[in-house]
Structures are given as structure tokens and as C-alpha cells.
Structure 1
Amino acid sequence: MLAGEVHGRDAKKQFGEAAFAVVPFGSLEYHGPHSPLGTDLYLAQGFAQRIDPSLKPLIYPAVPYSACPGKTSSYPGTITIDLPVFHRYLEAVLDGICRCGIQRIVLLNAHDGNMGAARTAAEQVTARWKDASFLLINWWQMAAVDAPEKLGFFQGTTGRGHGGPYEMSALKALRPDLVEVRKGDRELTPPDALSELPYVLVEGTPRGWDGYTGNIQQISLETGEWIAAEVTANMNRLIASWLSSQDITESGDS
């Protein structure tokens, strides 16, 4: 069910029938010559539409603009929102959904820069709505990092990176009309990982970077269809488990 299509006369009833709300988050940001500016927006919307309807989601319109990092802000087409402004806006959206009576909310994210703001906003909203529960899902974390390489989809790379083969193959599966790699498009091989463990490295001008990175000639529909299917299956399992845990908690409190 799409929140934007609910009529006012039916809002109370239909909102009451939803098991949870979904807020997709994207950005309008340069992703390379081969990729649309709305890459993150279309990924967030696309995976939101792949949530199992039997789970009873109420899907809100995607947030299209966000805070973008300095390393993409100077490239054509990028629109970046001041972080405090974005945070206040996001907090107001989530607070408004809670006031509508829906306090289980999936934050379905497709932009790395949204992660901190989404979590902080959720923490602040739960200070006011004690029964609220937010599940933050970053779509790219819903499949094993090295799986496409092990399966032979990528050669010599996991494909991860902004505008790279992992992200753009996934978008090609959702919107094949929007990804166009040409023979002359430059490949930008990212540096080797510093560690197998998670870490965060922030640089103004990373190595192997020109507003995007990666061996983009390896982008393919076949790879994207595998990634999208894996992400969809794992995402739906995670949401179902979250809803089940919420139901158990509420049952125990009654």
C-alpha cells in the first residue's frame, strides 16, 4: 500500500491495517557518466516495492534529497542539503508517521550519507515515542560482500564502491533503461582494502576516484538480477523476523 495514494476518508482505517511503515531514502548525486543522478533514489524506491505485500507495509514516498559528501558535491548534478537541515526534516517526517499511529518504521536506505542522520533521527524520535521501533536497512548490506566475486560475476573485485559494478548492476536489474556503460567510459580501480574488518575512511579526493569508482565495464544485468534477488530475499526475512520479535514483545507486555 502506497501512503501517497491513500484517500483522506480512508486514512485512519488503512493506516490501522498496516503492520509497519517504510520510508525509502535516496539522494540526487553524481554517480559517473554511466549512471543516473537519481541512482540512490531509484534503488531505494525499487527495493521498497519488492517488500513482500503479505507483510503489510505502508510505503511512503522516497526522500529524494540528502546531505552529500564533499567528494561528490562539486560534480555536475549533485544537490546537497545542509546536514542539520536534513536531520530536522527527517526527524519531522518520522515524528509525523508516529503521530499517524504507525510506530514500526523501516528506514530503507540507498545512500551512504544517510546512515548517521537516519540513526540519530530515529534515536531522538524514540525518546518521545517509547513504543516506536525503527529498523534501518542499507540495501547493499543485504548480500554478502564477496558473493558476486566468488560466484564469478566479478573478476578481481567485490564490485563495491560509489557508482561501481555492484551498485550499478543492482540498479540495472531494477531499471535497465537507466544504466549505460560505453566503451570509452574510464574504469577507476579502487585501492586495496586496509583491513578485512569494518572501518570508515573519509577523504576529500580518494585514490581511484572521479566522482565514481570501480571496474564499471563489469556491470551486467545478470549480476544485477542475482544481487537484487539476494537483497530482496534477505531484506524480507529480516523484516519478518523484526515484526515477529515485536509481536512477541507486545504479547509479553499485555
Structure 2
Amino acid sequence: MKASEIHGRDLELLENAAFAVVPLGSFEYHGPHSPLGTDIFLADGFAEKIDPNLGGVTLPTIPFTACPGKTSKYAGTISIRPSIFQEYLIDLTLGVIHQGIKKILLLNAHDGNMGISRTVAEYVTGLHKDVSFLLINWWQMVEIDDAEEIGFKDTSGRGHGGPYEMSAVKAFRPDLVTVRKEDEEFIGAAPLSSFPYILVEGTPKSWDGYTGLIQQTSEEAGKKIVDKASIHMNELIRNWLDQ
């Protein structure tokens, strides 16, 4: 159920929702083969994949958020200062709580939203002890080891504007992703460690506003990704609601 379609006389539909979905996108350069609204289409698409029987209500996708330095320098990217976006998201989630909804799902399609979303969730739950946030980054809903099954060779496909992300977009909007033979590909750098870590660089290696072996982008791979991610996403939401 879309919150924007609820009539003023039917506000009980909003008040009685089991949870609210706040899709988080960005307006950001993803390479010559990809739309600027990549993260918006992904946020919209996965929001539509949430099982309606779970009783959620979906708010409009937030299109403009904070983008990292490595993409904000590219034409096409429109970035909001992190401090501004953080305050915006605090007000938005407090507004949702004011409607009587105590569970909020931040459905994220943009890497740059992860830290801010966590900070906002921690802050708001400090103000409202009975509120619960769930942050889902759609790309984490599929195991990295599934790359070969999905159809990628010699790569996991992961990376900004890479075949994993753009195949998923192609599954939702096949008309918007166009990889040409002359489009440059980038082999990802070797990992620094087998342990999880975060590396932030202004100008990464193997990078021109996007990365990856993009010639492997396909609608078929995208459908596999979306199907797997949707199953795991709904299972996670169901477990969250049942706790």
C-alpha cells in the first residue's frame, strides 16, 4: 500500500499499518551505461517486491541524498550535504512515528546512505524506546558466493555501476541500461584482507565513476538477483515483525 494514495478520510489505513517503508535512493552518476536514477529505480523496485500481506505502507522514495566524493565530482550527480540529509531523515522518521507507526523499514539502495541511516535510527530510538528500525541494503540480500550461479564469471559483479547492480536495474527497467562494446571495464583491486573492512578513497583504482566487468550485465542475471533478494528480504521483514 502506498502512503501517497491514502485519502484523508482513510487515515486509519496509515495509523494501523504494521510498519512503514522508507525507500532511500540517490541521484548519482553510475557510468555511461546507467541511468542517473539507478538507486531510485532500485529502491522503488524492491519496495514493490515487499509482500503486501505483511501489512506495510510505503512512503515515496527519497531521491536526493548524500553522495561520496568519488561520484559527486562527476556531472549528473546531485549530492545533499550529509548533515542536511541526516536532519531531513530524522524529521521524516519522527513524522512517521507521529502517525502512530512504531516499526520503520529503511529500504536502502545507495551505499552512501548506510552510515547516516544507522545514525538516525540510533538517535530516534533513543527518543522513542518503543520504536524499532530495520535497515535493509538490498544488495546484501544475496550471498556473494552466488555470483557463479547468477551468471558472473571471474567476478562477484559487486561494485558501483557494476554488473550486479546494473543487472538488477535491468530486471526492473530493461530499457534503461545499455552497455556498449566500447564501454570500458575495470578489474577490481585485490582485497586488503579476508576480514571485513571499509576503505574510503577520493579516487579509487579501477574506477571512472563506476567499476566492474560491465559487459556481463544482463536482464537474466538481474532477474535471478531480484528474485533471490526479494525472498530473503521478505523473510527478514517477517522475522522482524514476529519478534
Q: TM-score, with normalisation over the residues of structure 1?
A: 0.94
The reply on whether 1:156 has 2:142 as its aligned counterpart is no
Report matched runs for 1:1-254 at 5 Å: 1-11=1-11, 13-149=12-148, 151=149, 153-245=151-243
1:43 and 1:152, CA in 2 relative to 1: closer, same or farther beyond 3 A? closer
Counterpart amino acid of 2:31? Answer: G
> How far does the alpha carbon of each residue in 1:94-128 deviate from its partner, in whole angstroms, 9 at most, with x for none?
00000010010100000000001111111111112
Give the percent of matched residue pairs that are identical in Structure 1 and Structure 2: 59
Distance in 2 between the 1:81 and 1:16 partners? 30
RMSD of equivalent CA atoms: 0.9
1:161 and 1:212 in contact (8 A); partners too: yes
2:150 and 2:224 in contact (8 A); partners too: no
Deviation at 1:45, TM superposition (A): 0.8
- State the SS of the aligned residue for 2:63: coil
Distance in 2 between the 1:230 and 1:82 partners? 33
1:96 and 1:152, CA in 2 relative to 1: closer, same or farther beyond 3 A? closer
The range that moved more, 122-131 or 234-243, is 122-131
1:148 and 1:223 in contact (8 A); partners too: no
- State the SS of the aligned residue for 2:111: coil
Counterpart amino acid of 1:18? Answer: A
Unpaired runs of 5+ residues, structure 1, are: 246-254
2:27 and 2:65 in contact (8 A); partners too: yes
2:26 and 2:40 in contact (8 A); partners too: yes
Distance in 2 between the 1:112 and 1:237 partners? 22
Deviation at 1:156, TM superposition (A): 0.5
Deviation at 1:172, TM superposition (A): 0.6
- State the SS of the aligned residue for 1:170: helix
Q: Which residue number in structure 2 is paired with residue 250 of structure 1? A: none
Counterpart amino acid of 2:57? Answer: L
Deviation at 1:74, TM superposition (A): 1.2
Counterpart amino acid of 1:201? Answer: L
**After TM superposition, where is structure 1 displaced by more than 6 Å over at least 4 residues in a row?**
none
1:152 and 1:14, CA in 2 relative to 1: closer, same or farther beyond 3 A? closer
Deviation at 1:15, TM superposition (A): 1.5
Deviation at 1:152, TM superposition (A): 6.0
Distance in 2 between the 1:188 and 1:199 partners? 21
Distance in 1 between the 2:80 and 2:35 partners? 19
Distance in 2 between the 1:174 and 1:218 partners? 17
Deviation at 1:16, TM superposition (A): 3.0
Distance in 1 between the 2:191 and 2:174 partners? 30
Unpaired runs of 5+ residues, structure 2, are: none
- State the SS of the aligned residue for 1:146: helix
Distance in 2 between the 1:197 and 1:93 partners? 35
> How far does the alpha carbon of each residue in 1:8-34 deviate from its partner, in whole angstroms, 9 at most, with x for none?
1111x1013311100000000000000
Q: TM-score, with normalisation over the residues of structure 2?
A: 0.98
Counterpart amino acid of 1:31? Answer: H
1:44 and 1:110 in contact (8 A); partners too: yes
2:16 and 2:101 in contact (8 A); partners too: no
1:219 and 1:124, CA in 2 relative to 1: closer, same or farther beyond 3 A? same
